[in-house]
């Protein structure tokens, strides 16, 4: 049985290695992500390596082994299933579920996860639009891109976000932007990359590039020139 702390590290390694423009997970990246100091993390990496969940060299950084990746996907599954359950069954907002799921994901009971997943209606994506791995670790695919990469006139659908923090999600909620919202990009400001978007047939706001980068969308006009 995996320790809570192993799960935390494996999930972190997976997340960091799959985040934008990161082809190498360095010790310091990981320490920063986990909000721990490098010596603490290094110590743990040695253990995880002995347990054959990762391989680590200072030049290559941290790489998950097959078994490490399997475990990481399992924690991610637990996390996302809990988030889904909290949202669908317990009716919490998408901005409230992450913190609770963070604690709940450590509960050890395959049977419980199965049960709450069933009660949630077995969706393929969590309340933030992130794919829920199946038991074998397979992820449903969804083609998404940051809203930031839009060209003027593009129409698109919000499929997810790149950040789970309550602050960010609260901001979107304040703007009345949620999952499955249809947006049209009215203007792209070349100066800093801000976007003016219109939605709900009425509202229109200007989003900073920092925000637009974290909203994941798919174009709805086919053959759209966005990348």
Residues of the shown chain interacting with DNA in the complex, contacts defined by CB under 7 A: 3-5, 26-28, 35-40, 42-44, 47, 57-59, 61
Closest approach, Cβ 145 to a second copy, in A, equals: 34
Closest among 207, 220, 213, 149 to 175, alpha carbons compared: 207
Q: Which of 107, 151, 206, 225 binds a second copy (CB under 8 A)?
A: 107
Could you say whether residue 128 binds Mn ion (CB under 5 A)? Answer: yes
Instruction: Say how many C-beta atoms besides its own lie within 10 A of residue 133's C-beta.
Output: 20
DSSP conformation letters of 119-163: HTT--SB-TTSPBPP-TT-PPPP---EEGGGPPTT-EEEEEEES-
Considering only the stretches 38-46, 93-101, 174-182, 189-197, report the one whose residues sit in contact with Mn ion under the rule CB under 5 A. 93-101
Instruction: Choose from DNA, a second copy, Mn ion, none: what does 128 bind? Cβ within 5-8 Å by kind.
Output: Mn ion
Closest approach, Cβ 227 to Mn ion, in A, equals: 25
Q: Kindly tell me the number of DSSP H helices and DSSP E strands found in the chain.
A: 8, 8
Closest approach, Cβ 84 to a second copy, in A, equals: 14
Q: Which of 50, 58, 91, 227 binds a second copy (CB under 8 A)?
A: 91
Instruction: Choose from DNA, a second copy, Mn ion, none: what does 126 bind? Cβ within 5-8 Å by kind.
Output: Mn ion
Q: Residue 161 forms beta bridges with which residues?
A: 215
Instruction: Choose from Mn ion, DNA, a second copy, none: what does 164 bind? Cβ within 5-8 Å by kind.
Output: Mn ion
100-130 residues labelled b (16+ CB within 10 A) or e (exposed): ebeebbeeeeeeebeebbeebeeeebbbbbb
Could you say whether residue 164 binds Mn ion (CB under 5 A)? Answer: yes
The span from the CA of 55 to the CA of 78, in Å, is 24
Q: In the 8-state DSSP scheme, what is residue 25? A: B
Could you say whether residue 108 binds a second copy (CB under 8 A)? Answer: yes
> What phi, psi does 53 have (nearest 5°)?
-95, -20
Binding site for a second copy (CB under 8 A): 86, 89-92, 96, 99-100, 103-104, 106-109, 111-112, 115-116, 119
């Amino acid at each position: 049985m995996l320790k809570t702390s192993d799960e935390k590290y494996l999930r972190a390694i997976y997340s960091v290695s799959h985040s934008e423009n990161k082809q190498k997970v360095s010790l310091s990246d990981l320490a920063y992500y986990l909000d721990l100091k490098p010596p603490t993390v290094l110590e743990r990496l040695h253990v995880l390596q002995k347990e054959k969940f990762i391989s680590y060299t200072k030049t290559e950084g941290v790489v998950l082994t097959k078994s490490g990746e399997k475990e990481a996907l399992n924690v991610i599954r637990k996390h996302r299933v809990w988030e889904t359950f909290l949202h669908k069954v317990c009716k919490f907002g998408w901005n409230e579920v992450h913190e609770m799921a963070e604690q709940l994901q450590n509960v050890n009971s395959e049977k419980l996860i199965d049960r709450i997943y069933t009660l949630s209606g077995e969706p393929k994506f969590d309340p933030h639009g992130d794919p829920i791995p199946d038991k074998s670790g397979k992820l449903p695919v969804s083609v998404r891109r940051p809203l930031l990469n839009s060209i003027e006139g593009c129409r698109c659908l919000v499929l997810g976000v790149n950040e789970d923090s309550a602050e960010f999600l609260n901001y979107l909620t304040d703007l009345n932007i949620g999952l499955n919202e249809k947006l049209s990009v009215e203007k792209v400001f070349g100066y800093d990359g801000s976007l003016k978007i219109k939605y709900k047939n009425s509202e229109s706001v200007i989003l900073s590039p920092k925000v637009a980068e974290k909203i994941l969308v798919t174009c709805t006009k086919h053959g759209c020139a966005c990348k």
